[in-house]
Structure 1
Amino acid sequence: MSTENQTRRRFADFIHLFKLAVTGAEKEFTTGSINRAIFLLSIPMILEMAMESLFAVVDIFFVSHLGIKAITTVGLTESVLSLVYTVAMGLSMAATAMVARRTGEKDHDAAGRAAVQSLYLGMAVSVLISIAGLIFAKKVLLLMGASQEVADYGYVYTEILMGGNIVIMLLFLINGIFRGAGDAALAMRSLWLANGLNIVLCPLLISGFGPLPALGLKGAAIATFIGRGTGVCYQIYHLLKGKGLVRIAKQHLKPAFNIIVSILKLGLGSTAQMLIASASWIFLVRIISYFGSDAVAGYTIAIRVVIFTILPAWGMSNAAAALVGQNLGAQQPERAEKSVWRAALFNVIFLGSLGLVFLVAAPVVIKLFTSEPAVVRYGVQCLRLMSLGYVFYAYGMVVTQSFNGAGDTRTPMLINLVALWLWQMPLAYVLAIWLNWGPLGVFWAIAVSESTMAVAAVLLFRKGTWKQVKI
């Protein structure tokens, strides 16, 4: 066969596999080629996370045109909302691990029961956060270091997003259920619908269009609520009426306290690791706010850009977690481990390449969002230092998620506790405040501590104790 024909055949094979991945036509991942399994699971997860990344960048792009007060409000609100994302992602990890294990055991009825119990937990937590957000929105911004002027300007944005956090909670939680069942394509479609609608509505509600009034920053919050709420409705339809491996039937609705306790144990570990990270993030934002709104705005823009690149890599990590859970359920621990190292290698290639791009093009990227010289300076510093650790992040993300996929949420929790609270937070304070490095000290602390955490995760994963976890 000629070289040209071989190239055409490989391209045709790639297109065929890509279509299988996006449509979700194949859901058996405990047999056959590991590379194929990673591809079929990770492509929809990468596309799912890419849309989340696109939303983060587009949202801050339109908000940035409202001025520094709006950017600062979004940055401070996002740092608090990270607590909501934390609980949602923590419960999502628990649901993914539980559903993946039951799916690997071919017990789809048990997977359905586990899905319902995880939803009960998510909704209970969401109600508590909503009450706090509706009552204390302005005080939250002030507590985070906002000036009275910024708090008076932006508290409605915080109020809407915290008060309506249930759509964020359920969107991520249900997608965790879908991923655990190996139905990554359905999770992808849910998020694409939610964020696609959000992206369309965001400029319309911020600036106004036709009969729609210009709502400013409030419009950005409403767009988020409508978009994510629509995505949740789509998810619930498929849980009740769809043809996926996980379907909720009437017999699953009865509370099963033994399952709730199991999910809660997993969820506490995964939520704790996320809370530890979120608390660290809030602490860092609080330090940066000490140096003024320009520093917070530059940090906010740079972090949104980082999210734009990191979230697709999380797609690869989530694929590894699902493969670990399903293969452990199928009594194939060695296949599970091999899947992790293969996924990590692919992630290194992806993130390492992007890190090089940002080292060179950071000023160009940040100037897409703002022309304020001080904001650009801080944003470029943050983006360049974060990109230095991309290769480390790539391994750390995959390995950490694989621990969670195996049901070992305690190990990554302890890693986060030591690396972030006992290392990153003190280092940031010493460099930024004591040594008077300013925000640059915080950026250095992030890059160093995240790289340290990745090395620790890899070393502990190689011990293999995660293979013995029972859930």
Structure 2
Amino acid sequence: MQSETGKIPRTRRLFALLGEALKGEEKEYTTGSINRALVLLAIPMMLEMSMESLFALVDAYFVGRLGKAAVATVGLTESVLSIIYSVAFGISMAATAVVARRIGEKNPEGAARSAVQALYLAGGFSVLVALGGILFAKDILLLMGADEAMVAIGSGYTRIALGTNLVIVLLFLINGIFRGAGEASIAMRSLWLANLLNIVLCPLIIYGIGSWDGFGLEGAAIATTIGRGAGVIYQLYHLCRGKKQITIGWRHLQPDGTMIAKLTGIASGGTLQFLIGSASWIFLIRIISQFGEDALAGYTFAIRVIVFAILPAWGLANAAATLVGQNLGAGAPDRAEKSVWRAAYLNMAFLGLVSVVFIIFAPQILRIFSQDPAVLAYGVEGLRLISVGYIFYAFGMVMAQSFNGAGDTRTPTFINLFGFWMLQIPLAYVLAIVIGWGPTGVYWAIVIAESVIAVTAVIVFRKGRWKKVKV
């Protein structure tokens, strides 16, 4: 009886902790239990990232019914959008690092001023991208290797997706601001709202209702834009309402050239870091496209499923970044380092389990998106091979985000430059084209390069130079 009753309080404490994490009541994590801090930050961040990856899965599911050409077009457009994601991640990363450092220093006014300057930076970038996307959508698809049929089907989708990129950038950025302030639950709920609307609107706007036939492929971009836009409105409401750890008021709106320059410096490193990876994926999909529509569609489905698992793991890595930023601001570098190692081991356990599931159930998972045997063959092989390196990825992403949380965006940038451009791209070309392995060669190049990147990041992290970065 005693052992039984002893379990009840622990169970209750666990559920109470989960409830507290979802409510987001705790905002500052520079004291107390590191395990508790990780749970309170990681749960909403992992759910947030899961919701972000759900956009891709929902779109893939509904677009899959429009045919392989539509799916392949979406895959090419997503590769271009990954560049925008890179910039959004970079600016978001800079905002998280600076806001977390100011919160750790007990300076919420400085955090709010920094957040506003990041918004100015993001807005200027988005306007330029929108103009380019609206004017050159067809040329962009042709440059990516699309044929005339894909351009005819997908140029409208590409134009809408790029033209409305502001909602993508703001959704990433403002969530980065909230994460830095320890307000991870708000970021999570904004993605819940955005995804709920996307799930409801996608089939309606793509296929229509009643006598209305819908917009087809363009409807997927419209539905996603509406969903993300609603999420941004929710974010702005909480950012300006005055009841949170970070609150923006009229007094914070004056442009600050010095702060914008500082944020640009941090963001440029973060953007280049992700841009290197994104550009690598563009080269990889360009190689895959040479093996036909089936290979491209199978690869697109496999990558969507992989992203669905990787993004929650990035949520745990983001929790480590917030802990690093706040604890460095509070003058506790040793606590920051301990937080990173604990997050890395937790991430390894999570992605290790996901890897086993993907290897065993790859055919069943991918049949959700396609019944085409040729497409499934490419997709199953990609899902199984790429997930082999998940344990390495787990450590690598936590280490990379920890550097970023400290404001050291240069270190992971150089690691990515070596791992992606000097190793992954040449290796993929040699294995797929020169040796003749086809898409299999691309999959193996991904596994090898990502594993090398992870090992390198761990070695550099142990040197501890990130503890001395000032932001």
TM over 0.5, shorter chain = yes
How far apart, in 2, do the equivalents of 1:19 and 1:32 lie?
Answer: 18
Aligned: 1:22 with 2:32:
no
In the superposition, relative to structure 1, how do residues 466 and 211 fare at CA in structure 2: closer, same or farther (>3 Å)?
A: farther
Deviations 1:348-380 (A, max 9, x none): 110001101111111111122111111111101
Partner of 1:48: 48
Partner of 2:163: 163
Q: Is the 8 A contact 2:242 2:248 kept in 1?
A: no
Q: Letter of the 2:31 partner, please give it.
A: T
Aligned pairs for 1:280-299 (under 5 A) are 280-299=280-299
Partner of 1:312: 312
CA drift of 1:4 comes to: 1.7
CA drift of 1:246 comes to: 1.1
The secondary structure found in structure 1 opposite 2:150 is helix
Partner of 2:395: 395
Deviations 1:281-307 (A, max 9, x none): 100010100111111100000000001
Deviations 1:429-469 (A, max 9, x none): 00111111111111110011001100000000000000000
Q: Is the 8 A contact 2:29 2:37 kept in 1?
A: yes
Q: Letter of the 2:26 partner, please give it.
A: E
CA drift of 1:214 comes to: 1.9
Q: Letter of the 2:12 partner, please give it.
A: A
Partner of 1:269: 269
Partner of 2:207: 207
The secondary structure found in structure 1 opposite 2:215 is coil
Which segment is superposed worse, 440-449 or 354-363?
354-363
Partner of 1:437: 437
Aligned pairs for 1:102-113 (under 5 A) are 102-113=102-113
Deviations 1:221-249 (A, max 9, x none): 10011000111111111111141111111
How far apart, in 2, do the equivalents of 1:214 and 1:81 lie?
Answer: 24
Aligned pairs for 1:6-155 (under 5 A) are 6-155=6-155
Partner of 1:176: 176
Deviations 1:115-164 (A, max 9, x none): 00001010100011001100010111111011111111111000000000
Structure 1 segments of 4 or more deviating over 6 A? none
Q: Is the 8 A contact 1:202 1:220 kept in 2?
A: yes
How far apart, in 2, do the equivalents of 1:3 and 1:74 lie?
Answer: 55
In the superposition, relative to structure 1, how do residues 212 and 168 fare at CA in structure 2: closer, same or farther (>3 Å)?
A: farther
Q: TM-score, normalised by structure 1?
A: 0.99
Q: Is the 8 A contact 2:321 2:404 kept in 1?
A: yes
Q: Letter of the 1:345 partner, please give it.
A: Y
Give aligned pairs, total: 471
Q: Is the 8 A contact 2:392 2:451 kept in 1?
A: yes
How far apart, in 2, do the equivalents of 1:46 and 1:211 lie?
Answer: 41
Q: Is the 8 A contact 1:205 1:212 kept in 2?
A: no
Q: Which runs of 5+ in 2 are unaligned?
A: none
Which segment is superposed worse, 408-417 or 372-381?
372-381
In the superposition, relative to structure 1, how do residues 212 and 35 fare at CA in structure 2: closer, same or farther (>3 Å)?
A: farther
Partner of 1:350: 350
CA drift of 1:3 comes to: 2.0
Q: Is the 8 A contact 2:88 2:122 kept in 1?
A: yes
Identity %: 61
How far apart, in 1, do the equivalents of 2:243 and 2:284 lie?
Answer: 45
Q: Which runs of 5+ in 1 are unaligned?
A: none
Partner of 2:412: 412
What is the RMSD of the two structures over their aligned residues, measured on CA atoms? 1.0
Q: Is the 8 A contact 1:406 1:467 kept in 2?
A: yes
Q: Is the 8 A contact 2:55 2:224 kept in 1?
A: no
Q: Letter of the 2:277 partner, please give it.
A: A
In the superposition, relative to structure 1, how do residues 212 and 3 fare at CA in structure 2: closer, same or farther (>3 Å)?
A: farther
Q: Is the 8 A contact 1:204 1:212 kept in 2?
A: no
Partner of 2:248: 248
Q: Is the 8 A contact 2:359 2:387 kept in 1?
A: yes
The secondary structure found in structure 2 opposite 1:214 is coil
Q: Is the 8 A contact 2:382 2:440 kept in 1?
A: yes
In the superposition, relative to structure 1, how do residues 23 and 242 fare at CA in structure 2: closer, same or farther (>3 Å)?
A: farther
The secondary structure found in structure 2 opposite 1:463 is coil
How far apart, in 2, do the equivalents of 1:267 and 1:441 lie?
Answer: 33
Deviations 1:139-190 (A, max 9, x none): 1111101111111111100000000000000000000000000000011111
Which segment is superposed worse, 327-336 or 47-56?
47-56
Partner of 1:366: 366
How far apart, in 1, do the equivalents of 2:417 and 2:266 lie?
Answer: 17
CA drift of 1:212 comes to: 5.4
Deviations 1:30-79 (A, max 9, x none): 00000000000000001111112222212201110111011001100000
Q: Letter of the 2:290 partner, please give it.
A: Y
How far apart, in 1, do the equivalents of 2:53 and 2:411 lie?
Answer: 28
Q: Is the 8 A contact 2:317 2:343 kept in 1?
A: yes
Q: Letter of the 2:60 partner, please give it.
A: I
The secondary structure found in structure 2 opposite 1:29 is coil
